[in-house]
Amino acid sequence: MSEAAFFNALVIGWFLIALLTFASLFFITAPYGRHARKGWGPRISSRAGWIVMETPAVLTITLFYLLGDRVGEPVPSIFLGLWLLHYVHRAWIYPFRRRGGVETMPLSIALMGVFFNGVNGYLQGRYLFTLSEPYALAWIGDPRFLIGTVVFLVGFAMNLHSDQILLNLRRPGETGYKIPRGGMYRFVTSPNYFGEIVEWFGWALLTWSISGVAFLAWTFANLAPRARAHHEWYRKTFPDYPKERKSLIPGIF
Ligand code: NDP
């Protein structure tokens, strides 16, 4: 089997698993953070879990960039730069900014994250830096690239800003949960997730790639059910939770 045939089969399988994950997560919420519960095997510290889960996303794409035949070309290098902008923060900075709360997560969740980020890193890196048609310099002037990059950066900013509002809710050493307010929290319960989805929508657009669409589908499959679970949790926990807030998409869901 050629690598292109393997890649195509993997992408199709990846879409199908995303669909299955989407349906399952409405019934079984991933057991970390406020949804943590016993019975998921050995546990590791949440900080270590985040580093372990997200580091493969930094390493795989960098590896496939270096192994590919487009090293130093402007467009692939911009793709790599945007990816690393998100994932260096997520893997190596964000875990140190988190405060208090649930101190451990199941090792099984971290290992699922490693698997997801490993396969996703292969799909993105191998496609963009080797298997796709080459991206000419003129791609930088293409409206899909320009609009996609703006959307990506807006999503990134929304994700960072919304996470920051959450992180500010706890003073050092404090645990527990409060109602987040301000920014995009005026409209939805999980604007950090919404920002993340907007970001990878921008990525799918700016790379105009099947691998980008697959990642967008996965991100939505993962985060939409979790946003719904967070929303229901807030409404049960805080009787004064703002009624007009939606779960994830302003005005819609
Ligand atoms: P959450 O919104 O559940 O929590 C983010 C952080 O804020 C956690 O440290 C949490 O503490 C704390 N927090 C949340 N709500 C409150 C509150 N009401 N009061 C006080 N502290 C609060 O996000 P996740 O942990 O699920 O995800 C973190 C980041 O990772 C997000 O930016 C998300 O978009 C991204 N992510 C991306 C995925 C993808 O598929 N691309 C998958 C999963 C996450 P605690 O941990 O104690 O609950």
Confidence (pLDDT) at 101: 73
pLDDT band at 207, cuts 50/70/90? very high
For residues 162-180, average pLDDT = 94
Among 177, 219, 240, residue to substitute to test ligand 1 (most atoms within 8 Å of Cβ): 177
pLDDT for 173 beyond 90 = no
For 177, list phi and psi in degrees, rounded to 5.
Answer: -125, 145
Q: Would you list the DSSP string of 196-215? A: HHHHHHHHHHHHT-HHHHHH
Tokens of 176: 């527990």
pLDDT for 103 beyond 90 = no
For residues 176-181, average pLDDT = 96
Atom of ligand 1 nearest to the CA of 193: 34
Q: What string of H, E and C letters represents the secondary structure of 114-167?
A: HHHHHHHHHHHHHHHHHHCCCCCHHHHHCHHHHHHHHHHHHHHHHHHHHHHHHH
Distance from the CA of 66 to the center of ligand 1, in angstroms?
32
Does the CB atom of residue 33 touch ligand 1 within 6 A?
yes
**Amino acid in position 176:** G
Best CA proximity match to 231, nearest among 114, 223, 176: 223
pLDDT tens, position by position, 2-17: 999 999 999 999 999 9
What pTM value is reported for the model?
0.97
Q: Whose CA is nearest to atom 32 of ligand 1?
A: 192
CA angle (28 as vertex; 22, 32 as ends), nearest 5: 105
Among 34, 35, 171, 189, residue to substitute to test ligand 1 (most atoms within 8 Å of Cβ): 34
pLDDT tens, position by position, 19-73: 999 999 999 999 999 998 888 999 999 999 999 999 999 999 999 999 999 999 9
Distance CA 234, CA 1 (A): 50
Question: How much is the mean pLDDT over the chain?
Answer: 96
pLDDT tens, position by position, 110-153: 999 999 999 999 999 999 999 999 999 999 999 999 999 999 99
